[in-house]
Amino acid sequence: MLLSVNIFVSLDGVMQGPGAPDEDRSGGFDRGGWLVPHASAHTNEVVESWFREAGAFLFGRTSFGLLGGYWSKVTEPDDLIATKLNTLPKYVVSSTLTDEEADWSPTTVLRGDLLDEVRRLKELPGKELQVHGSWRLVQTLHRAGLVDVYRLLQYPVVVGTGKSLFPDGSTPATFTTAEEHARVLPGGVVSLTLTPASLGTISAGAYTVDEGRSVTVPG
């Protein structure tokens, strides 16, 4: 399975608590719900397109609890997101969560070496293994080079504090995107699908003046 990371993010890179003031107050975060005023039929359409590709889900413990606590209550049969989340296999990374506590069925608790477990899951047949939220897990997967695609909805908001998708000290990387995978939705939300091109390094170059002309010089 291809591993995708699917994230709502602000202009300043924050991914914490987008859906409600009390969604995730860890670290004293008090600016939750910043996404909601910008939600629309257009953003919903993009998110549903993400979930159509799902074959299974991988969560950190916190996001598993947050998403399970909400989506397990959504029983509308025509809700694509709820149907996918409530019926497809889910894997949660935790060394302390018991099988009884992981009652958002069907769920398997991953207690072994995380990277080995993820590599094993990626070898399974099927559609995508999707990560939603799961801030700490995303950092680990990024460092290990296990993410095949990033899908982002970037909202026209500067949150100013909170968990960042790529915090200071993140492993440098370069991404590519096809033109059809980068678009601005009505209302200013940007939809991006990014494919990692290199990990551990970034390309660089310089601007210089040559015979009176400004030109670029590749690194």
Cα–Cα dist 2/142, whole Å: 14
Give the mean pLDDT of the chain: 96
Q: Taking a C-beta distance cutoff of 8 angstroms, is the pair 170, 139 a contact?
A: yes
Mean pLDDT of 72-80: 96
For residue 219, what pLDDT band results from cuts at 50, 70 and 90?
A: confident
Predicted pLDDT at 203: 84
Instruction: Find residue 107's DSSP bridge partners.
Output: 90
Q: What percent of the chain has pLDDT over 70?
A: 100
Alpha-carbon distance values, 154 to 97, 102, 168, 206, 216 (Å): 32, 31, 19, 28, 29
DSSP state of 1: -
The string of pLDDT tens digits covering residues 45-75 is: 999 999 999 999 999 999 999 999 999 999 9
Q: What is the pTM of this model?
A: 0.94
For residue 187, what pLDDT band results from cuts at 50, 70 and 90?
A: very high
Topology adopted by domain 3-218: Dihydrofolate Reductase, subunit A (3.40.430)
Instruction: Report the sign of the C-alpha dihedral through residues 52, 57, 63, 69, in that order.
Output: positive
The string of pLDDT tens digits covering residues 98-108 is: 999 999 999 99
Q: Taking a C-beta distance cutoff of 8 angstroms, is the pair 189, 41 a contact?
A: no
The string of pLDDT tens digits covering residues 105-163 is: 999 999 999 999 999 999 999 999 999 999 999 999 999 999 999 999 999 999 999 99
